[in-house]
């Protein structure tokens, strides 16, 4: 594809996005032909995949239609660790032009690789993401995703250059400088994690800068961590920045697996490159459309490191209606939680997002909070530390105790667990420069 024909420059529809609107029958045809090719490639080059296929008595030729993907073996995160660093690569290193790695909290990181063509595909899906969010040439974009081994920064960077935006590769951190650059460089759009941006909104307030009055930022693409519609409302109402969700993960390609369009109602998966399934995380059987389950993705065009049936651990559901924007590629609901985020507290399954919902039900905007788990006399104790803001404060101690009780009651209603709510001073909970840290689990794990 030739980027930026001169006669497209002033337009509002960009040819890269045309693939979002493919007739569905053609889309499925493209998916099947690419699926068969990627399975043949993996079977030939990746020992782990071949062995698992053989164990199931399957040959690449057994995949005749898209539905046959259900019979293929899954790939999980530990497989990427076990084959560290290059065990899932299908091409010689001379073909690999880029590697990224995810931060390993325990032990070795996971490594992913890209051929030159993979880089082009990545750029294309990011361009489609940005166009869907209303970015275009002429935007001055502050990219606050981390640059380096993390796929966020450089991933967005490629697509931003692709659409011809002016990129400020500032990376994360140094909040006051971020605001200064936003103001002085006339930034019109931003990319980053939503929790860091909320932190920046607070920083701007402290600096006496009013986002709506003093800055020109109109839109932002936010991702790399689950965030809620309430967080979006908070961002949009306090900063005036229209906030779009982006989905992706390093194991698949990085950011750019799916993105929200102007309707902000679920994320379109770029299905010509990624085959999405949703399965029951326990039985691993597909669930009917509209039902929640774990998202499983197969890359259809990746060369250096194709992954087949990767279990993302992200919980979502397919949207069953057609999107008003007219795109034909299917949408998933925004990721609210991960199957491995689940906490078991006194035997009850709790997701941090439930605590967030409970806090939002009590207060209109989401306060900073931290879930602290301890164990006393063999029993799990759930404490939620909530930072007070001026807006929540009353000069009446009784009213503050009432607020504490309302938080506690709301958490109990949603999770079924008693929680001790502790009110904390603003800024006392550590702010993240990247992904939000919401949990401090101090329980000793019994052997």
Partner 1 sequence: MKIRQISIFLENRPGSLSALCRTLADAGVNLSTLMLSEAGEFGLLRIIASDADKAQTVVEKAGYAATTSEVVAIQVPDKPGGLAAVLTALDSHQIPVEYMYAFAQRSGRDAIMIFRFGDLDRAIAALKEAGFGVCGAIDLF
Alpha carbons within 13 angstroms on the beta-carbon side of residue 14 total 25
Instruction: Pick between residue 99 and residue 400 the one whose CB is nearest to partner 1.
Output: 400
What DSSP letter does each residue of 418-431 carry, written as one string?
--EEEEE-TT-SPP
CB of 198 to partner 1, least distance (A): 15
For partner 1, the closer CB: 206 or 212: 206
- Beta carbon nearer to partner 1, 174 or 389: 389
Minimum CB separation of residue 312 from partner 1 in Å reads: 38
**CB closer to partner 1, 57 vs 398:** 398
Could you tell me if 346 and 339 are in contact, meaning their C-beta atoms sit under 8 angstroms apart? no
Q: Estimate to the nearest angstrom the gap between the alpha carbon of 36 and the chain centroid.
A: 28
Q: How far is Cα 269 from Cα 328, in angstroms, rounded to an integer?
A: 10
- Distance in Å, CB of 370 to partner 1, minimum: 13
CA angle 182, 188, 192 (to 5 degrees): 70
Give the residue with the Cβ less far from partner 1, 189 or 421.
421
* Tokens, residue 35: 């699926």
Q: Which of 426, 437, 439, 442 binds partner 1 (CB under 8 A)?
A: 426
Q: Which structure tokens are listed for 351? A: 């997701």
Question: Contacting partner 1 (CB under 8 A), which of 173, 344, 427, 442?
Answer: 427
Q: Which is nearer to partner 1, 425 or 430 (CB)?
A: 425
Q: Is the Cβ of residue 117 or residue 381 nearer to partner 1 in the bound state?
A: 381
Q: How many helices (H) and strands (E) does the chain have?
A: 11, 20
Residues of the chain by 3-state class (helix, strand, coil), percent to 5? 35, 25, 40
The answer to the question of residue 206 lying near partner 1 (CB under 8 A) is yes
Half-sphere exposure of 371 (CA within 13 A, CB side): 27
Q: Under DSSP, is residue 141 helix (H, G, I), strand (E, B) or coil?
A: strand
Whether the Cβ atoms of residue 203 and residue 192 lie closer than 8 Å to each other: no
Tokens standing for residue 328: 């034909």
Query: Least Å distance between CB 295 and partner 1?
Result: 39
Nearest distance from C-beta of residue 422 to partner 1, angstroms? 6
Applying CB under 8 A, the span of 72-80, 141-149, 221-229, 425-433 interacting with partner 1 comes to 425-433
**Cβ distance to partner 1 smaller for residue 416 or 427:** 427
Which residues in 366-405 contact partner 1 (CB under 8 A)?
Answer: 387-390, 392-397, 400-401
Q: Compare residues 66 and 423 and give the one whose CB is closer to partner 1.
A: 423
Q: Is the dihedral of CA 233, 235, 240, 241 positive or negative?
A: negative
Toward partner 1, which CB reaches closer, 321 or 425? Answer: 425
Interface segment toward partner 1; rule CB under 8 A; list 150-158, 190-198, 344-352, 418-426 = 418-426
Least CB distance from residue 271 to partner 1, whole Å?
47
- Cα-Cα-Cα-Cα torsion 33, 326, 122, 332, nearest 10 degrees, comes to -90
Rounded to a whole number of angstroms, the minimum distance from the CB of residue 387 to partner 1 is: 8
The answer to whether the CB of 372 falls within 8 A of the CB of 401 is: no
| Least CB distance to partner 1 at residue 400 (A) | 7
Binds partner 1 by CB under 8 A, chosen from 166, 424, 433, 440: 424
Pick the piece of the chain touching partner 1 (CB under 8 A) from 36-44, 246-254, 405-413, 417-425: 417-425
Q: How many of the chain's residues bind partner 1 (CB under 8 A)? A: 20
Cα distance between residue 275 and residue 301, in whole Å: 10
Cβ at position 363, least distance to partner 1 in Å: 13
Name which of 237 and 394 has its Cβ closer to partner 1: 394
Q: What does the per-residue mask of binding to partner 1 show for 9-48, with x meaning CB under 8 A?
A: ----------------------------------------
Contact 294, 311 (CB under 8 A): yes
Q: How far apart are the first and last CA of the chain?
A: 57
Minimum CB separation of residue 398 from partner 1 in Å reads 8
Residue 326 neighbours by CB distance under 10 Å: 10
58 within 8 A of 308, measured Cβ to Cβ = no
Collapse the DSSP code of 179 into the 3-class scheme (helix H, G, I; strand E, B; otherwise coil) and give the result: helix
How many Cα atoms are found within 13 Å in the side-chain-facing hemisphere of 130? 32
What's the number of CA atoms in the CB half-sphere (13 Å) around residue 216? Answer: 12
Q: How far is the CB of 5 from partner 1 (least distance, A)?
A: 52
Binding residues vs partner 1 (CB under 8 A) = 206, 387-390, 392-397, 400-401, 422-428
């Amino acid at each position: 594809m030739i980027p930026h024909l001169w006669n497209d420059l002033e337009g509002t529809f960009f040819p890269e996005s045309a693939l979002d609107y493919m007739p569905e029958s053609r889309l499925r045809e493209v998916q099947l032909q690419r699926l068969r090719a990627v399975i043949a490639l993996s079977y030939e080059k990746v020992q782990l995949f071949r062995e698992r296929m053989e164990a199931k008595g399957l040959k690449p030729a057994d995949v005749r239609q898209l539905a046959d993907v259900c019979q293929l073996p899954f790939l999980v995160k530990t497989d990427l660790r076990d084959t560290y660093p290059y065990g899932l690569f299908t091409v010689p290193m001379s073909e690999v032009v880029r590697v990224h790695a995810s931060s390993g909290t325990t032990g070795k990181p996971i490594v992913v690789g890209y051929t030159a063509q993979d880089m082009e595909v990545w750029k294309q899906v990011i361009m489609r993401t940005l166009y869907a969010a209303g970015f275009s040439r002429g935007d001055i974009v502050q990219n606050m995703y981390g640059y380096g081994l993390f796929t966020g920064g450089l991933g967005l960077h490629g697509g931003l250059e692709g659409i011809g935006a002016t990129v400020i590769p500032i990376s994360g951190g140094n909040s006051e400088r971020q605001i200064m650059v936003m103001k002085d460089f006339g930034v019109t759009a931003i990319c980053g994690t939503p929790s860091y941006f909320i932190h920046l909104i607070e920083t701007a307030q402290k600096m006496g800068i009013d986002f709506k009055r003093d800055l020109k930022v109109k839109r932002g693409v936010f991702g790399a961590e689950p965030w809620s519609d309430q967080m979006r409302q908070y961002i949009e109402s306090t900063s005036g920045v229209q906030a779009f969700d982006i989905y992706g993960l390093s194991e698949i390609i990085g950011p750019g697996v799916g993105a929200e369009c102007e309707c902000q109602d679920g994320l379109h998966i770029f299905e010509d490159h990624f085959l999405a399934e949703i399965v029951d995380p326990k039985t691993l059987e597909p669930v009917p459309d509209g039902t929640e389950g774990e998202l499983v993705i197969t890359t259809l065009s990746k060369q250096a490191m194709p992954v087949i049936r990767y279990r993302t651990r992200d919980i979502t559901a397919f949207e069953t209606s057609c999107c008003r924007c007219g795109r034909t590629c299917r949408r998933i609901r925004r990721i609210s939680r991960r199957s491995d985020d689940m906490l078991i507290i006194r035997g009850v399954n709790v997701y941090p997002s439930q605590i967030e919902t409970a806090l939002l039900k009590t207060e209109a905007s989401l306060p900073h909070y931290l879930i602290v788990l301890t164990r006393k006399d063999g029993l799990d104790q759930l404490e939620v530390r909530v930072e007070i803001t001026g807006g929540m404060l009353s000069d009446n101690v009784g009213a503050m105790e009432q607020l504490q009780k309302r938080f506690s009651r709301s958490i109990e209603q949603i999770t079924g667990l008693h929680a001790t709510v502790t009110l904390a001073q603003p800024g006392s909970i550590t702010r993240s420069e990247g992904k939000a840290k919401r949990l401090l689990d101090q329980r000793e794990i019994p052997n």
